[in-house]
Amino acid sequence: MTAEIRVIGLHGIPEAKAGDDLVNLIGASIDDHGPALVDGDIVVITHKFVSKAEGRVISFDNIEPSDFALRYAERTGKDPRHVEVVLQEANRIVRMNRGILIAETRHGFICANAGVDASNVSGKEGVSMLPLDPDASAGAIREALSQRYGARLAVIITDTFGRPWRRGQTNVAIGVSGMSPLLDYRGQFDTFGYELAVTVIAIADEIASAAELVMGKLDQRPVAIVRGYHWEADPEEMGAAGLVMSADRDLFR
C-alpha cells in the first residue's frame, strides 16, 4: 500500500493585525480557495501570524535601551533597541559570542534572540515576539476551527530555529494542540526483532518542517494543511512544552 501525505499551502490570507480573528481569516481562505478541513487534518500556522494578531509586535519608539544593551550593541553593531527587547523576552542568556545572542525564552525554548525577529514585520522600526502561550493559542484556534468545520483537527504553531551542529535553520513546533508532539517507539520491535529503547520522534517538529516547504519565508503564506498523517491524540495535553528538554536531562546546560 502506498503511503502518502499532502501538504497544502493556503492562498489569499491577508497580513494579520492586532485584534484580528485568525479563525475567520483562515476560514475565508479555505472557503474561497479550499480545500475544506476534514477529520485528521493538521493546520500549521507561522507564529508571526499569531503574534501579530495577539499584539506581540513592538515599535522601537517604545523601547529605552539599558546600559547593557547599549554596550552590547556597540560591540556588535546591532540596534540597541532590538537587543533590549531580546533581553526583556529572555528568561536567561545561554550564549553571547560572535555577535550571536542565544537565549532561553519564558517557554523554555533555546533559540537566537529569544525568538525576537524583525523579518516580515511591516515598517522597519519594530520587531515581533513569540506568543505568550503558544500552546494555548494553538488550542483556541483548533477548537474554533473544529467547530466551524465539524472536524477532528490538530494545530501546530511554528517558528524557525537554528541547530547547534548543523548549518541552516528549520521550522519547529512552538505550539501544539490536539495531537501528541512526540511519537514514542520505545518497547516496540523492528523487523529484525530488536527492541527499541530510546527512539522518540519529535513528530510535531517534522510536520512543522514539512509545512514550511509550501509556506516559504517570502510567499506570504502563513498557513498550511498537512493531510494524510495519522497522528495520535495528546491525552496528557503536553503541547509543544512536551518537546522542551528538562534541565536534568540537558547535557549542555
Say if residue 253's pLDDT is above 80: no
Residue 147 has what pLDDT? 97
Instruction: Place 217 in a pLDDT band, splitting at 50, 70 and 90.
Output: confident
CA–CA gap between residue 238 and residue 109 (Å, rounded): 15
pTM over 0.85: yes
- Domains of the chain are 6-55+131-244 (3.30.1330.100), 58-127 (3.90.1660.10)
Instruction: Place 50 in a pLDDT band, splitting at 50, 70 and 90.
Output: very high
pLDDT tens by residue, 4-35: 999 999 999 999 999 999 999 999 999 998 89
Residue 216 has what pLDDT? 83
pLDDT tens by residue, 79-125: 999 999 999 999 999 998 888 899 999 999 999 999 999 887 776 67
Q: What residues contact 174, with CB distance under 8 A and at least 6 apart? A: 47, 107, 109, 115, 130, 131, 134, 157, 158, 159, 240
Is residue 184 a contact partner of residue 197, using CB atoms and an 8 Å limit? no
β-bridge partners, 42: 154, 226
Is residue 9 a contact partner of residue 212, using CB atoms and an 8 Å limit? no
Closest CA to 93 of 62, 65, 72, 119: 72
pLDDT tens by residue, 119-174: 877 766 789 999 999 999 999 999 999 999 999 999 999 999 998 889 999 999 99
